A and B are shown apart, each in its own frame.
Chain A
């Protein structure tokens, strides 16, 4: 601790490590992918940002950068975001080569700048997969996921009005497993992290959360077949079981769902309906 802060020293010592003693601003060297439109050639543009607060979220840091760019007459960097609380899955960014950054089970919007070093160089790229074409700068089109959901997404049988909750018994184990699978926010980090750009983790989460519940039994077979067919059409790669998706997933979706998806698929192929 430097002696010029003597007056605060006693106070800091009293409040343990003095983490809040001094909010030093951070300097960053950012290399950001800029691409005008889907067909344009993109490139990295370097920005130096000098007074980043460690308490900012990653997206707030980009907001600050954009304000400067706009003030200077430049075009703001396009990036996707919505809830900023880790539940919508919009904030698709690759930070230093890792989708949603290096923190485990954390979305980009939930990362704070204090997790970076002062003076650090940060590469910010869009998710890269042919099935997720770049729209502009850091924004990619994840419509492929929507089309997969649409392919298997609703039940054509008349469901009537909502039944009494207790009329439909769901075993706790199934409820837990279904809930874990349903935690998927459709962010696409699994595709971005997979060296094959495979969408198996996402599709397996969606197929699993319905297949595990009694409500999902109707059209269970046709659903998995249609979703897998759509997934293949979209140009995702094939799963080679390397589990990078699981490690990158901000919601901790397990690759055991992929085994279940394969099981459901084989089961559906073997069945007659």
Chain B
């Protein structure tokens, strides 16, 4: 559980770094080149992908087993059940946020991995998807749930692996929260930016990527085409701070004083 979870976190860090390529130029060429580079590894890429799926499935299976075993350990519930505020919202919803992440990951793979590559490249596909209201919502909810999951997960894994102690507990818990915020907010920035239209000149890459005279094709890519136009109109806007609050500090729930 802890080992698979930490390895998945390692993947996410690399994944976020890769995604940041989207912002490194206005055309999306860097990002597309990065994706091409990954593809050029050929069979190695499949090995890595298989490994990732295995980690994910193992983590999921262990997580579900733990959850069911734990429910079974107390078949007669308390009539009145009051905790002492040590639990957090995140810690008590691990299986819920985990399953949201699972659904999100399936949608995400269908979106960008299992779908046929658009002629104007991966970057354009991503921008189109994240500019749609439904796309943006799915991605924000998915990575928000991930952020909440991780805010408990890191310290929990350190405890499980015996790497925690009284001296490091507070720094480790803080590092876990920071990691959750960096990954949660980090991934959420993409849908926020593209949906709000704050950035989106990848459009020019789409146009250039298409054959001369075939510019129209860009607009025929199903829903994506429509939203590509939509996001063009939206123009430049700032990210609403209120959007960012969605992935804020998930602790502080359930503290109540009883007398």
Contact = CB atoms under 8 A, between A and B. Distances in A.
A255 B159 CA distance: 9
15 contacts: A31-B79, A130-B74, A195-B70, A195-B92, A196-B74, A235-B73, A238-B69, A240-B91, A241-B160, A243-B86, A246-B86, A247-B86, A258-B159, A262-B161, A265-B162
Contact of B78 (A125, A237, A254): A125
Interface stretch (B141-149, B164-172, B225-233): B164-172
A198 B76 CA distance: 15
B77 interface: yes
From DSSP, what is the main secondary structure of chain B's interface residues? loop
A242 interface: yes
Contacts of A33: 79
B72 interface: yes
B87 A129 contact: no
Query: Top 3 closest A-B pairs, CB basis?
Result: A263-B162, A237-B73, A97-B82
Interface of B: 66, 69-70, 72-88, 91-92, 94, 152, 155-156, 158-166, 169, 258-259
B163 A259 contact: yes
B99 to A, nearest CB: 16
A117 B94 contact: no
Contact of A259 (B72, B73, B85, B162): B162
Contact of A241 (B70, B82, B84, B156): B156
A256 interface: yes
A98 B79 contact: no
B106 to A, nearest CB: 25
Nearest to A236: B73
A90 interface: no
Contacts of A242: 86-88, 91-92
A130 B71 CA distance: 10
Contacts of A79: none
B70 A238 contact: yes
B159 A241 contact: yes
A256 B158 CA distance: 11
A242 B76 CA distance: 21
Given A125-B79, A130-B74, A262 B159 contact: yes
B166 A197 contact: no
A44 B84 contact: no
Nearest to A33: B79
B159 A259 contact: yes
Nearest to A126: B76
